[in-house]
Structure formats: C-alpha cells, structure tokens
Amino acid sequence: MDFINAIILLLNYIFIPALTYGSQLALGAIFVTLIYGILRFANFATGDMMSFGTMATILFTWYFQSLGVSLGVLPTALLAIPFGIIFMIFYMLLIDKFVFNYYRNQKSPPVQFAMVSIGVMFVTQAVVRIIIGPGDRRFFDGEKFIIKAREFKEMTGLNEGLALKSTQVITIFVTIVLVSLLFWFLNRTKTGKSMKAYSDNEDLALLSGIDPKKIVLVTWVIAGILATIGGALYGLDKSFKPFTYFNNMLPIFAAAIVGGIGNPFGAFLGGYVIAFSEILLTYAYKKFFMYILPESMEPSSLVQLLSTDYKFAVSFSILVIVLIYRPSGIFKGKVL
Amino acid sequence: MRKNLNVIAAYSIMMVLILMVGIFQSWNIALSIFNLCLISAVMTMGANIQWGYAGLINFGIMGYTALGGLAAVLISVDPVQEAWRAGGFDILMSLWLIVVMVLVIRFILKRFEKSKIRTYSIAAIIISGILLIRFSAEPGIEAIEAVDPAKTGFLGGFGLPIIFSWIVGALFAGGLAFIVGKVALGLRADYLAIATLLISEIVIAIIKHEDWLTRGVKNVIGLKRPAPYEVDLQTTDWFINLVEKFNSGKLSVIENLADRQAALNQLVIEGSSVFVKLCYSGLFLVVVIILLILTQKALYSPWGRMMRAIRDNEEAANAMGKNVVKQHLLIFILGSAIVGIAGAMLVTQDGLFTPGSYRPMRYTFLIWVMVIVGGSGNNFGAILGGFVVWFLWIEAAPISLFLINFFTAGIPETNALKAHLIESVPYFRFLLMGLGLLFIMRYRPKGILPEKIEIK
C-alpha cells in the first residue's frame, strides 16, 4: 500500500505537473527552433509573441463570454484560440514584412537579426501592455478538476490524493495532437519537405525551384499556431501575465538548444527534459522516502537537492552544460 | 574640429535637453536623469568594448551589474559580529572546500590526458563537492539567517567606505567574466548571447536566494554614502548661507520676515537634495572621463587595432599570430569589469541594494539599445547612446501623455479609449525604445555617431 502511495505522490507532484509544463515549453521550443532553422535567427521576441497570441485569445474569450457562448465544461478559451491564432499570424506577418524581410533580403548576419528581434520584443511588449495591461489575468472557465484529490482518496482508500486538473489534460492532449500533425506536415507533405530542404541548404533549395516567400509565409503561419496555442495553454493552466511570458522565453530557449536547435523533434523532447529536471531536482522527497523506507530509516531533512528558488537556474545550468559539451544539443542528427 | 562637429552638436543637444528638463520640470529630476545617464554611459562603455571593439555579444550585463551592486554591499556594510560568531566558521569551511575542489580539478586537468574517465571524474568531484558543501554549510547558513532576521540575518560586509566598492565591483564582475569567458566564449555569436543571458539569470537567482550573503529579497537599505546627507546639510550654516546667496534676488522680494524664512527653508530643502545629486554627478563624471580617456587610448593603440582586426576577420588575425582566444577572454573581462563599476555606482547612488529589481529588460536589453543607438565601436557614440536612451526612457511617459492629449484633444475626458490610453502611458516607453531601435538599425545601422577609423 505504501508503495502505491509513493507512486501516486510522485504522479501528483512530479509527473503530471512536469508533463504539463513540459508540453507548454515544447510548443514554445518548436516555435523557436522553426524560426531558427528556417529563418536563421534566435528570436528574442518569442515570449512576447506568445503573450500577444494569448492576449488575442483572452480578448476573444471575453467577447464570447459577453455573448453568452460557452463550451459547457470546457473552457471558452478553446473556442477563442482559432481567432487568436488568426490575429497572431496577422501580427507576425506584419512584423515580418516591415522588419525581418529587409534584413533577409540584405542577407544580414544572424546577430543583426537577433538585435532586430530585440526591437520587436520591445514593441510587442508595449503593444500587449497597452492593450491589456501588465496585470495578472485569469480567463479559465468551465470545470476545473477532472479528479479531485479528496474524491480520489475516497474512491481508492489511499492516503495520497491524485488531483487531475482539466487544464492539464487539455494541455497534454492538445500538444500531442498538434505535434503529431506538425510532424506529419513536415515529413509527409510537399511543403513540409521543401521547408526541410530550405533549412538544410538554402541555395540548393532555391535552385530546385522552391519559392522562398512561400516557405517564409508557411513558417510564420506554423509559428503563429504554436505560439498562440502554447501561450494560451500556459495561461489557462497558470495565469496570463506579460512579464511571466517574457521570463518563460528563457526555459524555452533552453529547451530548444538542449534538444538541438533547428531540430523540431529535439525541441519537443527538450521541453520535457527541462521541465522534468526542473521539478525533479527541486522537489522535496521527504514524504516519498517516508512511504518506501522502513520507519527506522526515515529521513530527517527535506531531502531536497536544490531549493525551489533555483527552479529556473536548474534549466539554465543544464543548458550551459549542454552548450559546453555538446553545442549541437542532445538530439543532434538531421537538421529539421 | 570640423570632423568632430557632429559629436559636439549631438552632445550639446543632449545637454540642452537635460537643462530644459531642469527649467521646465525641476532641477532635481534633471540631475537624477543626468546621474543615471552617467551610470548608463559607464555600462554602455563596457558593452561597447565587448561588442564594438571585439564583436563579442554579451547579454549578461545584468549579472555583472548585480555583482557590482553586491560589492557595494559587501564593502560598505558593517560586519555583523553576531552572525560571524554564529555561522562564520561553517561558511569559511565551505569556502575552503570550494578552494580545495577547484585545486583538485586543476590538478586533474594538468596531470591527466583528456579522456572520458577524466571528464566523468571531474563531473563526479563537482557534484559530490556541491552536495558536501551544501550539507556542511547548511547549519551555518541557518544560524546566520536566524540572527535578527528583520534587521540583519546576513554576514554583513567589511565596513569600508563605499567608494572602494567601485574597484571591488570591477574585480567581482571581471572574475565572473573570466569564468563565463572560459566556458562560453568558444560558442557562436547567437549561442553566446543566449548562454550569457542565462548565466546572468543564474547569478541573479543566487544573489536573490543566498540570504546569508546578500540578504536576498529582503534588500539591504541605508548604505553609507560618499556624499553628505540632506538632513545634515539642512542644518549646516555655510550651506544655508550659500542657498541664501544664490536666491538673494528671489528672497529680497518677500517683505514679510516670517514668509521669507519659510521660503528660505523650502529652498534649503530643495537645494540640499540638488547639492547631494551634484556631488554624485561630480564623482560619476570623474569615472566617466577616466574611463573615456582609457578606452580612447586603448582604441587607437596597437592593441585596439588588433582587436578590430580580430573582430573583422578572426581567421586572418589568427593567421597573423594573434591569440584570438586569449584576446577575446581579456576583452570580455575588461568590458564586464567596467559594467561592474557601473553596478557599484548605481547601488552607491541609490543607497540600497534590491536584488529583486535586476531584470533583463532594464539591465541587459536597454543597455544594448543604448549601444546600438549610440553607435557601437565609438566611445562617444556609446556614451551618447546611454544619455539619449536613458533620457527618453524617463521622459517617454510625459512625452506620450502630451501626445495623447494633443491628438485626442477633441475627445471628452470620459471617453473609454482615451482614459485607457492615458492609464497605459508608462508602457509607451517600451514602444518608443523598440521603434527607436528598429529605425536606427534600419536607416542608420552604425548608430547616431558611427565608428570611424582614423589611421594616424
């Protein structure tokens, strides 16, 4: 019995939260990696673009709520996400046309692109804050829990409860669907393959008649979908605050690089690597050991490797180690 | 003279702008803008050395600034004797352990050939060392943090005059830069940017959460000052006389003696804070001028030419026998050390150390905007960038408020859109910075005052 309790404890406090957080990071990381692989720059506006998409989703959610439209037990935001995506893509294309396009034609070095993306970051931050303000916004509605901890305890008679939030299930489910669709698109369709070719060797791809404008357009469309959904899922699960989104850019970068930047599948796994290591290293295992060890060996301390304050620092340290020993990431191999 | 005309013109315009703030808003605001402009200028000089001279991208400016600030705390705060008695020994033991660990690793690196076993054993030593240190230091840390946590709860510093911290801050930042440089400088430009950004976040995380050393988010307030205190000045005779002399015209108009005294008191209060700010301005100006002379000398020295050669063509410079790796490390340390000075200056001026306030937006990206806008590679440009961008950063809110009111003059105050816009005035500074950066990068990619290479 104690053993099952220990497993449930880990599931409840480590596995499910890490899986959710990892999914949110993974979507952002694929976004970063696509931009890096195809448009060839590190996009420092990642977090703020995600917050823009989320903001658009929130505005539509509010609009639907005012109309009285809802999805019953599911959050209304799911209905608003497609509209948010359209806004996000429109914004990204606008930025691309007026900002990035020029430097692409000039064949500027990646560093210059990165600097320009900082300018975009400032502008996007301002736009988001002017429209929706810097405060904390919750836009979740519908049923909050699928399984409540207390109900679970009553149902199974265990000491430990397992709480399953609907946002966690939605996040994981949507991520799986979206990522499968994306990989299908990249690996099986003609456009996806031409994107791959463009990323591998630009000149060769151009010679074989691939239209660079179309590639760029498709990349931004996919990026817009990923950014909005990733941001909205994070906002549903936690809450929406522009500053948090800016900060999330850092673990997202970490995930993309750990997975091997330019490699979408690596970025997908990198998200989970970062999320799991953050939570595994900062969790206090005292209770876990209390269940599995005999009473005489019970630990007196919290058995916590690092205090939770260092959550972010863990992912950054992993990144630094990866950068030093394996700059091409854990899952190198083919690029895109 | 002729060829420096644009520099002189740009700086004169900047000074006039600051003077206008003094005349129309208040001298207090003008001077606080000026002081922070000077600090920003020091930071931009540091970043400019790295980016403009050597083409190294350092997004970790925030980390070095914070370390400079930490130096100010560690130098100027009086030691907390009780905390030292409670946990000083444990902390010293841990420090000693760290030194031993580093020496062992160095020994292994020197003695053994590069192999998998060596890498793994070093990793094992580091991990077990960290765990050992963590468990051996824990009781000491807890004891220290328990010493009067509302007031101290940390070890304190050395109790020296705070001005020394400017040098120590440079040393701290340089030391960190040495480690970061050893680790990360081999990376490609954009990787280096991300790596330094994340390392600076780690530094901030440590400063925020190691309460025994820095007091963490509880902040350290009331640091010593190199300048006199306002309260003391207000009761000093020579200062009151000075204020009276300056304002004799204004005061003589007031007939009533009591009114005149009240007016004088008001002027003395205002004057004292202006005077203190002027003291800081003087100190900062000295630093900026010294650094400017040194950096200009360096730029036009053979060393500066070598740096530019390395920046423009690394491989060619390497082929000419220049040690690129070593020079990159050197310039990374120098630039970061200058940023460290700025960090210490900032805390000195504020008189408080708030680890929670170090955010990449303000201390990394804004500094980069300054360097790019001002003109990378040109010290005068970088300093000007610091001035212009900081000035706009502060004055963006009043300017945008004015513009909003101007363009919506016909719309009544109760209009929801207008009210919303006026409410979000503080965020227009981000917009202004972003647009400024984008426009400069597009239409004047070398900045307001571009780099010019003079061959003498």
pLDDT tens for A6-27 read 888 888 889 999 999 999 999 9
Question: For chain A, which domains are there?
Answer: 2-325 (1.10.3470)
Q: Which amino acid is at A96?
A: D
Chosen domain end from B129, B155, B181: B155
Does residue B144 sit in the same domain as residue B166? no
Does residue B123 sit in the same domain as residue B9? no
Does residue B44 sit in the same domain as residue B149? no
Q: Are residues A327 and B187, on separate chains, in Cβ contact within 8 Å?
A: yes
pLDDT (0 to 100) of residue B2: 64
Does residue B201 sit in the same domain as residue B347? yes
Average pLDDT over residues A124-153: 88
Chosen domain end from B155, B173, B188: B155
Q: Are residues A121 and B365, on separate chains, in Cβ contact within 8 Å?
A: yes
Return the H-helix or E-strand segment holding B233.
helix B230-234
Among A316, A317, A318, A325, most B C-beta atoms within 10 A, so best to mutate, is A316
The answer to whether residue A320 neighbours chain B at the CB level (below 8 Å) is yes
Task: Determine the residue of chain A that is closest to B424 in CA distance.
Answer: A130
Does residue B234 sit in the same domain as residue B128? no
What are the structure tokens assigned to B398, written together? Answer: 């009043």
372-401 of B, contacting A, C-beta below 8 A: 372
Average pLDDT over residues B235-253: 82
Q: Are residues A122 and B421, on separate chains, in Cβ contact within 8 Å?
A: no
The answer to whether residue A313 neighbours chain B at the CB level (below 8 Å) is yes
Does residue B264 sit in the same domain as residue B413? yes
Please give the backbone phi and psi of residue A74, each rounded to the nearest 5 degrees, phi first: -85, 155
Of A118, A257, A320, the CB nearest to B183: A320
Q: Provide the domain count of chain B.
A: 2
Among B145, B430, B432, B440, most A C-beta atoms within 10 A, so best to mutate, is B430
pLDDT of residue A106 exceeding 70: yes
Domain span at B102: 80-155
Does residue B342 sit in the same domain as residue B359? yes
Average pLDDT over residues B387-415: 87
Average pLDDT over residues B399-425: 84
| B200 within a domain of the structure (yes/no) | yes
Pairing, β A164-165 against β A145-147: antiparallel
| B412 within a domain of the structure (yes/no) | yes
pLDDT of residue B455 exceeding 60: no
Q: Are residues A126 and B202, on separate chains, in Cβ contact within 8 Å?
A: no
44-83 of B, contacting A, C-beta below 8 A: 57
| B448 within a domain of the structure (yes/no) | no
| Tens-digit pLDDT profile for residues B128-137 | 888 888 778 8
| B36 within a domain of the structure (yes/no) | yes
Does residue B205 sit in the same domain as residue B193? yes
Residue with tokens 């000052």: B225
**Neighboring chain A residues of B201 at a CB cutoff of 8 Å:** 250, 312-313, 316
Does residue B270 sit in the same domain as residue B330? yes
Residue with tokens 């994070």: A234
The answer to whether residue B442 neighbours chain A at the CB level (below 8 Å) is yes
pLDDT of residue A181 exceeding 90: yes
Q: Which of A271-280, B127-136, B235-244, B265-274 has the highest mean pLDDT?
A: A271-280
Average pLDDT over residues B337-365: 93
Model confidence at A219, pLDDT cuts 50, 70, 90, reads very high
Q: Are residues A134 and B427, on separate chains, in Cβ contact within 8 Å?
A: yes
Least confident of A115-124, A141-150, B90-99, B376-385: A141-150
From the list B292, B294, B322, the residue with the least C-alpha distance to B308 is B322
pLDDT (0 to 100) of residue A333: 45
DSSP summary character for residue B2: G
Size of interface A-B (CB pairs under 8 A): 121
Of A41, A42, A319, the CB nearest to B198: A319
Q: Are residues B365 and A118, on separate chains, in Cβ contact within 8 Å?
A: yes
| B105 within a domain of the structure (yes/no) | yes
**Neighboring chain A residues of B434 at a CB cutoff of 8 Å:** 119-126
pLDDT (0 to 100) of residue A143: 82
Does residue B136 sit in the same domain as residue B168? no
Distance set, CA A314 to CA A250, A275, A319, B202, B455 (Å): 12, 10, 9, 9, 49
Q: Are residues B427 and A312, on separate chains, in Cβ contact within 8 Å?
A: no
The answer to whether residue A69 neighbours chain B at the CB level (below 8 Å) is no
Please give the ipTM for the structure prediction.
0.89
DSSP string, A284-326: B-HHHHHHHS-GGG--SS--BSS-GGGHHHHHHHHHHHHHHH-
283-312 of B, contacting A, C-beta below 8 A: none
| B455 within a domain of the structure (yes/no) | no
pLDDT (0 to 100) of residue B218: 86
Q: Are residues B421 and A130, on separate chains, in Cβ contact within 8 Å?
A: yes
| B298 within a domain of the structure (yes/no) | yes
Does residue B113 sit in the same domain as residue B215? no
pLDDT (0 to 100) of residue A334: 43
Outline where chain A has alpha helix (H).
2-10, 16-34, 46-67, 77-95, 101-106, 110-132, 149-156, 166-188, 190-200, 202-207, 212-237, 242-258, 264-282, 286-292, 311-325
Does residue B230 sit in the same domain as residue B118? no
Chosen domain end from B133, B155, B177: B155
Q: A18 by DSSP, 3-state: which?
A: helix
Yes or no: say if B378 and B447 are a contact pair by the CB < 8 Å rule. Answer: yes
The answer to whether residue B189 neighbours chain A at the CB level (below 8 Å) is yes
| B451 within a domain of the structure (yes/no) | no
**Distance between CA atoms of B229 and B233, rounded to whole angstroms?**
6
**Distance between CA atoms of A22 and A13, rounded to whole angstroms?**
14
pLDDT of residue B3 exceeding 80: no
Q: Are residues A119 and B437, on separate chains, in Cβ contact within 8 Å?
A: yes
CA A78 to chain B, closest CA, distance in angstroms equals: 28
Q: Are residues B434 and A123, on separate chains, in Cβ contact within 8 Å?
A: yes
200-259 of A, contacting B, C-beta below 8 A: 246, 250, 253-254, 257
CA B274 to chain A, closest CA, distance in angstroms equals: 33
**Neighboring chain B residues of A99 at a CB cutoff of 8 Å:** 438
